[in-house]
């Protein structure tokens, strides 16, 4: 009789930490790290980050693929998927870390910190009168697992917050917009725009020249989602004219950002190397284990994603 095993594959995640975290939750789980998979027919679950082409077809009894991260674009965009269930990570540590990044980046602009960073470099005492946070309008594009808590936190701090998502949302203190017309209103009405959108076929390049032009002059843009939701050439042009006054970018079309990329030369861009939020195996393992328990009972996994929808 074949056994029930999980295969782990990731060039970047710590297999030992994941083995410890998952087997603490599920002591009976047979955790195998590729390429030491034993009999491929034992494999029911895969916990992976960008496995090589053809990986999934090796396992005839595979039932669930869990992406080792929240963003599933690299997984769902593949053309070698097999008809199984797909899920993503989602843990409170990751959410808290993303909220902290967004709050930091928004507050840096709301409190005019880049002005003081530049003044300090010139050795000048430059006073800018602070504005009440309620006067500062912030948009969060994408109100999912990471976007909704970030929007809620910003609203809780007193910012005037509007969110944009596919379906309408009821989040305390956060106005909800949907659809193309909603996006255009959101871009035109808000001074600080945060992207927490997934990279789906619909949303690739959603923020281009037209969208940056819709933003009010002097807008600030924060991208902690995926680089390719933005047309980078259009953003660079808007940053050069100052129409978009500042940007904080954690994600890029090409990562690491190439040394000759124009973003490096723009004084009004803060670059962080894709670390707005990371996964802590110990915290994330709880839901991965719960998904496996649910699959054993014939239920859907937690945090299931839909290949057709792209997120």
Kindly name the residue from 274, 286, 293, 309 that is annotated as catalytic: 274
**In what helix (H) or strand (E) does residue 160 lie, and over which residues does it extend?**
strand 160-165
- Interhelix angle 92-110/147-157, rounded to 10 degrees, is 50
274 is catalytic: yes
* Residue appearing with tokens 């659809």: 179
- Nearer of residues 137 and 274 to ligand NDP, judged by Cβ: 274
CA distances from 92 to 97, 147, 284, 286, 310 (A): 8, 13, 8, 11, 23
Applying CB under 6 A, among 111, 166, 204, 261 the residue interacting with ligand NDP is: 166
Measured between alpha carbons, how far is 33 from 10 in angstroms, rounded to an integer? Answer: 9
Among 139, 175, 194, 199, binds ligand NDP (CB under 6 A): 199
Q: Is residue 301 within the footprint of ligand NDP (CB under 6 A)?
A: no
For the bound state, the minimum distance from the C-beta of residue 27 to ligand NDP, rounded and expressed in Å, comes to 29
What CA–CA distances, in Å, run from 129 to 116, 121, 132, 137, 241?
12, 20, 10, 17, 25
53 is catalytic: no
Rounded least distance, CB 141 to ligand NDP, Å = 7
Is 291 a binding residue for ligand NDP by CB under 6 A? The answer is: no
The verdict on 87 binding ligand NDP (CB under 6 A) reads: no
User: Which of the ranges 20-28, 111-119, 137-145, 236-244 carries the binding residues for ligand NDP, by CB under 6 A?
Assistant: 137-145
Do the Cβ atoms of 66 and 47 come closer than 8 Å? yes
108 forms part of the interface with ligand NDP (CB under 6 A): no
Binding marks (x or -) toward ligand NDP, 217..236, rule CB under 6 A?
-------xxx----------
Catalytic residue, candidates 19, 32, 108, 226: 226
Nearer to ligand NDP, 162 or 277 (CB): 277
Identify which of residues 29 and 277 has a Cβ nearer to ligand NDP in the complex.
277
Residue 163 zone, left/alpha/beta (φ > 0; ψ -120 to 50; rest): beta
**Does 215 engage in binding with ligand NDP (CB under 6 A)?**
no
Q: Are 138 and 158 in contact (CB under 8 A)?
A: no
Residue in 187, 203, 234, 302 binding ligand NDP, rule: CB under 6 A? 203
| Beta-sheet strand order (sheet of 192-195) | 174-178, 160-165, 137-141, 192-195, 219-223, 244-249, 269-271
The pair of structure tokens assigned to 164 is: 């944009």
The residues annotated with a catalytic role in the active site are 226, 274
Contact positions vs ligand NDP (CB under 6 A): 70-71, 142-147, 164-167, 196-200, 202-203, 224-226, 250-251, 274-277, 311
């Amino acid at each position: 009789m074949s056994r029930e095993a999980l295969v782990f594959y990731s060039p970047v995640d710590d297999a030992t930490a994941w083995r410890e975290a998952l087997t603490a939750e599920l002591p009976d789980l047979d955790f195998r790290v590729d390429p030491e998979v034993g009999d491929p027919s034992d494999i029911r679950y895969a916990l992976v980050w960008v496995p090589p082409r053809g990986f999934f077809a090796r396992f005839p009894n595979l039932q669930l693929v869990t992406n080792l991260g929240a963003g599933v674009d690299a997984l769902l965009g593949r053309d070698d998927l097999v008809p199984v269930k797909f899920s993503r990570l989602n843990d409170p540590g990751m959410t808290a870390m993303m909220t902290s990044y967004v709050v930091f980046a928004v507050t840096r602009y709301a409190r005019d910190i880049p002005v003081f960073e530049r003044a300090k470099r010139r050795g000048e005492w430059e006073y800018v009168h602070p504005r009440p946070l309620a006067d500062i309008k912030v948009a969060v594009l994408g109100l999912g697992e990471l976007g909704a808590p970030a929007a809620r936190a910003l609203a809780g701090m007193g910012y005037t917050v509007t969110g944009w998502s596919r379906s309408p949302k009821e989040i305390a203190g956060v106005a909800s917009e949907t659809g193309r017309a909603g996006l255009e209103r959101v871009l035109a009405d808000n001074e600080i725009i945060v992207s927490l959108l997934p990279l789906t076929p619909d949303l690739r390049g959603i923020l281009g020249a037209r969208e940056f032009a819709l933003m009010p002059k002097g807008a600030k843009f924060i991208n902690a989602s995926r680089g390719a939701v933005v047309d980078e050439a259009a953003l660079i042009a808007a940053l050069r004219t100052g129409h978009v006054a500042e940007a904080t970018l954690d994600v890029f079309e090409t990562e690491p950002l190439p040394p000759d990329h124009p973003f490096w030369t723009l004084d009004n861009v803060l670059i962080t190397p894709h670390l707005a939020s990371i996964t802590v195996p110990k915290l994330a393992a709880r839901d991965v284990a719960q998904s496996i328990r649910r699959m054993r009972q014939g239920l859907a996994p937690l945090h299931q994603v839909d290949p057709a929808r792209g997120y």
